[in-house]
Amino acid sequence: MKNFELLMFVNGQAMSGGKISHGLSEAVLLGPARTAPIYDFYSFRDEFPGLKLNQSAGYSIPGELYSVNYGILFSRLLPLEPPELELGVIKLSDGSGSLAMLCREGAEKLAGVTNISKYGGWSAYLLTQQKMHGR
C-alpha cells in the first residue's frame, strides 16, 4: 500500500521551533498559511492552542502548512498532541482543505482556557504574555 502525502496545518507547539516540532522533523514544510476566517483560537493554560469552528464571527489564524505521510502523522505527531485536541479538517484561506488539530467538543469551556483569537496567532499571543509578565 502506498504511503500517501497529506496536508497538515499547525498553529502552535508543532510549528517550527515549538516544543513538539520534532514530530514533524521528517515532514516537508510548505510554508506559512492561514485558515479561512471561520475559527476561534484558544489558549489552553498558555501551554498550547486549539482551533474551534465559528462560521458566524471567526478569525483567520496563521500557522504553517506541511506535507506529511500517514506514518509521520500517526507515529510521530499525533502521540505528542494533548488530549484536549483531536484531528480534524479545516478550511484554509485559499479555499482548500487541510488536516489540523481542533478543540474536542466542549474543551474550550475547561478551566484555564482563554479565547486568544484577536491576538493574531500563537506566537503573537505568547509574545504579548511575555511582555505582560516581564519574561
Residue 130 is predicted with a pLDDT of: 86
Q: What is the pLDDT of residues 7-22, one digit of tens each?
A: 999 999 999 999 999 9
CA 129 to CA 114: how far, in whole Å? 12
Question: How buried is 4 (Cβ within 10 angstroms: 0-12 exposed, 13-18 middle, 19+ buried)?
Answer: exposed
What residue segments make up the domains of the chain, in order of their start? 5-132
What value does the CA radius of gyration of the chain take, rounded to a whole number of Å? Answer: 14
pLDDT score of 81? 97
DSSP reduced 3-state for 58? coil
Burial class (CB in 10 A: 0-12, 13-18, 19+), 130: exposed
Query: What pLDDT score was predicted for residue 101?
Result: 98
The structure's pTM equals 0.94
The arrangement of secondary structure in 5-132, i.e. its CATH architecture, is Roll (3.10)
- Rounded to whole angstroms, the Cα distance separating 21 from 126 reads 16
**Contact between residue 31 and residue 9 where contact means Cβ atoms under 8 Å apart:** no
Extract the residue ranges of the chain whose pLDDT is less than 70.
1-2, 135
